Amino acid sequence: MEKIPMTAGGLKQLEIELRQLKDVERNAVIRAISEAREHGDLSENAEYHAARERQSFIEGRIKELEAIISHAEVIDPSKLSGDIVRFGATIILADEDTDEESTYQIVGQHESSIEKGKLSVGSPLARGLIGKSLGERVEVKTPRGSKSYEIVKVDYI
């Protein structure tokens, strides 16, 4: 498996989630299974089946997180500079139709959150921006159609 780029903050969030699953969720679901077993016939015990399903989800997510973390390549944007958009850049874009400005940071796919301004490096917008320079016009094909933006600011913080 190849390296997975992410910021230090993204890696930290994944590690926190992994600890929560291992130290809290796993123990809670084991207790729930034990309690459900005490209720008798397991074939018709909805609590037991729900707890087993939850256990399966937790164990799957733990394995997934361990794989992601083991292949993480942490990139520190503060050590980068320049006017060219790369992974880790915080950029301000102006929508050429509405002149509305938006701020995004290009991050790894496992830490992206459009609501928080964290744009996945694999998203159509990020792919269209990478390699472009400050002041450049970018046309991006998105699922909702084509959009044009101007890169107003590129920062590495």
CA dihedral 49, 54, 55, 57 (to 10 degrees): 130
What is the average pLDDT value for the chain, to the nearest integer? 93
**What kind of architecture, by CATH, is found in domain 77-155?**
Roll (3.10)
Judged by phi (left if over 0) then psi (alpha if -120 to 50, else beta), residue 82 lies in left
Q: pLDDT class for 57, splitting at 50, 70, 90?
A: very high
Give the pair of three-digit tokens for residue 50. 């729900």
pTM for the whole thing?
0.83
Give the pair of three-digit tokens for residue 144. 């909702």
Q: Where are the domains of the chain?
A: 4-74, 77-155
Residue-wise pLDDT tens digits, 84-117: 999 999 999 999 989 999 999 999 999 999 999 9
CATH number assigned to the domain covering 4-74: 1.10.287.180
**Within 10 A of 116 (CB to CB), how many other CB atoms are there?**
11
The three-state secondary structure class of 146 is strand
